[in-house]
Amino acid sequence: MPSVLPLGDPAPSDGLLPAQAADGAAVRAFGLYVHIPFCAVRCGYCDFNTYTATELGGGASQDAYARTAVSEVALAATVLARSGVPDRKLGTVFFGGGTPTLLPADDLAMILRAAIGQWGIEDGAEVTTEANPDSVTRESLAVLKDAGFTRVSFGMQSAVPHVLKVLDRTHTPSRVPQVVQWAREAGLAVSLDLIYGTPGESLADWRHSLETALSYQPDHISAYALIVEEGTKLAAQMRRGEVPGIDDDDHADKYELADELITEAGLGWYEVSNWARTPEQACRHNLAYWRGDDWWGIGPGAHSHVGGVRWWNVKHPSAYANRLSQGLSPAAGRETLDAETRTLERVMLEARLQSGLEVSTLSPGGRHEVAGLIADGLVDPPAAFRGRLVLTLKGRLLADAVVRRILPD
């Protein structure tokens, strides 16, 4: 969740949604995202809407945050009902940040209980929290499991100390196998997040990180190329020449190595940057984003989407808490997507999935491009002949270029 909010129309103080939000809602999945905006240390590459204790102003505290989030849960249920959106049980819940597990496990459980109390939850629902390896204990993971969490995603990032140092990560590599074991003892599925392309990371370093992560036999792996955003500490270090810049060829080599090793370990890709041991262990919450389902985002800076209406909350925890304490919606702005924009977004997102994109979704010009994409080795020929556009490995490396070719001018 980038820290800079998009431009949009003003959001009403009561949060009520336009009629479009209710159209067809009964057949769409519904999920909840809960943003926990706190970190022990701000990582040098991060531009997310997060705050360390020293960055929080008056009116915001970690101790009071769970109760504030619960008040938005209640507001969300009221807004959806008053906007004519039918009640739906939660299919997925995802706690992200920041570092959600900086809050006590009982606080996370309180927020989850409030959400289930408002909407109910489907049998077999997926409930995930992100966590830093040094922000959990055996006991806290057991509390989360008892509360209804099913999955934990650890920010491992690397198994190489000098890479972790550049990223300003606070855990040591030896901590990761310990927390994975604790999560498994608690009965939680385990995902590991990795980052490649850190300045100073060799291909051998990246291989070591991959092999180490795979040795823990995770259910799921995410591997993201490092993107250096303006305004971050790492961007400033690059400008000053203190660390080397990003190399696209290096990123490509490391992605190919990741796909090779992860696939050999028995996990399959289902989105360009994500692999799961079985289709059932793919992150269903993220799939809901990529497929354009409905979700409500709780927390400062959190984004929501219901039926083509997208909105985002005020950024700072103090402003967020103040709005809710006055009975006002924390939404800062919103936009209502027209049919053309929704189709464009569908193409951009579903093209990244292993399940592919229906070729019939494309404009005539986009469909005309498919033959050339096959010839260039970017999409799978058998899938294309069956009417679906599925990226090859080469296509995944050039996914943005593929999307540009199939979108109308």
Q: Kindly tell me if the per-residue pLDDT of 231 is higher than 80.
A: no
Are residues 113 and 47 both part of a single domain? yes
Q: Give the mean pLDDT of the chain.
A: 93
Residue 306, in any domain of the structure: no
**Sign (positive/negative) of CA torsion 397, 94, 330, 293?**
positive
Q: Is the pLDDT of residue 58 over 60?
A: no
Task: Write the CATH number for 35.
Answer: 3.20.20.70
Whether 374 is in a domain gets the answer yes
Asked if residue 39 and residue 121 are part of one domain, the reply reads yes
Return d(Cα 181, Cα 187) in angstroms, integer: 10
Quick: pLDDT tens for 111-166: 999 999 999 999 999 999 999 999 999 999 999 999 999 999 999 999 999 999 98
Contact criterion met (CB below 8 Å) for 41 and 168: yes
Tokens of 289: 């984003």
* 312 within some domain: no
Contact call for residues 366 and 347 (beta carbons, < 8 A): yes
Residue 197 scores a pLDDT above 90:
yes
Q: Is 50 helix (H, G, I), strand (E, B) or coil?
A: coil
- Kindly state whether residues 98 and 188 are assigned to the same domain: yes
Residue at 315 is within a domain = no
Looking at the structure of the chain, the number of domains it has is: 2
Residue 168 pLDDT grade (very low, low, confident, very high; cuts 50, 70, 90): confident
Q: What percent of the chain has pLDDT over 90?
A: 84
Handedness of CA 186, 188, 189, 191 (dihedral sign): negative
- The domain in which residue 171 lies consists of 9-290
DSSP H or E run through 59: none
Q: Which of 290, 316, 350 is the last residue of a domain?
A: 290
Residues 44 and 180 in one domain: yes
pLDDT of residue 55: 64
346 and 282 within one domain = no
End-to-end C-alpha distance for the chain, whole angstroms: 28
Average pLDDT over residues 3-27: 89
pLDDT at 262 (0 to 100): 98
Strand, coil or helix: 266: coil
Average pLDDT estimate for 357-366: 95
Residue carrying the six token digits 């690397």: 158
pTM, two decimals, is 0.93
Query: Which domain-ending residue is among 290, 315, 350?
Result: 290
pLDDT at position 135, please?
96
Residue 68: inside a domain: yes
Asked whether the beta carbons of 318 and 57 are under 8 A apart, the reply is yes
Are residues 162 and 235 part of one domain? Answer: yes
- Give CA–CA dist 35/244, Å, rounded: 32
Identify the pLDDT of residue 170: 83
Final residue belonging to a domain, choices 271, 290, 309 = 290
